[in-house]
Amino acid sequence: MGADRPGPCQIEDYCDAARSHGRCRSIDYGHRQPGRSDHTRRRQYAGLPGYTFERAAGELWRCRFDAERNIIVVNSGHRDFVFATRNRALQLRYLVRLYVKELVLKNFAGLPAEQLLERMIELSLYAEEKLKSG
């Protein structure tokens, strides 16, 4: 991550605010490891994942969650990403949307598409408000 790119701490601040309003479940991207207690696993792997960039120009995927590394991989070659980098605020909003997408998919797996979209709208609203005040 370069110094000119927004960091995951900005997203963590947002999620803390969403949780305090009862809107966000505890986020756990934990992996199962034999012989370790749930508490130890949760402490080691719980929390928001980081993110990294992978250039895959011409491919349709915008981002994906890599569970093994507990990281969101953003396609820096996607035309939407390239467009968003023209403006710092637009780039930040784009990255927040990608992050929210992955959080919702991971934490609300199995919900109907309509409910997933509702959660995305809700989390995006809290994230953007938090970014404005932070």
For residues 90 and 119, give the distance between their C-alpha atoms in angstroms, rounded to a whole number. 21
Which domain, by its residues, includes 26? 8-133
> Which pLDDT value is given to residue 15?
52
* Residue 15 placed within a domain: yes
Instruction: Please list the pLDDT of the chain residue by residue as tens digits (134 residues).
Output: 344 444 444 445 445 544 444 444 444 433 333 344 444 444 455 577 899 999 999 999 999 999 899 999 999 999 999 999 999 999 999 999 999 999 999 999 999 999 999 999 999 998 888 877 76
* Residue 121 placed within a domain: yes
* Residue 123 placed within a domain: yes
Q: Distance from first CA to last CA of the chain, Å, rounded? A: 20
> Which pLDDT value is given to residue 134?
66
Q: Considering its fold, how many domains does the chain have in total?
A: 1
Q: In terms of Cα–Cα distance, which of 1, 8, 4 is closest to 98?
A: 8
* Residue 57 placed within a domain: yes
> Which pLDDT value is given to residue 46?
57
> Which pLDDT value is given to residue 3?
41
* Residue 2 placed within a domain: no
> Which pLDDT value is given to residue 9?
42
Q: In terms of Cα–Cα distance, which of 8, 1, 2 is closest to 131?
A: 8
- Residue 41: CATH number of its domain: 3.30.2010
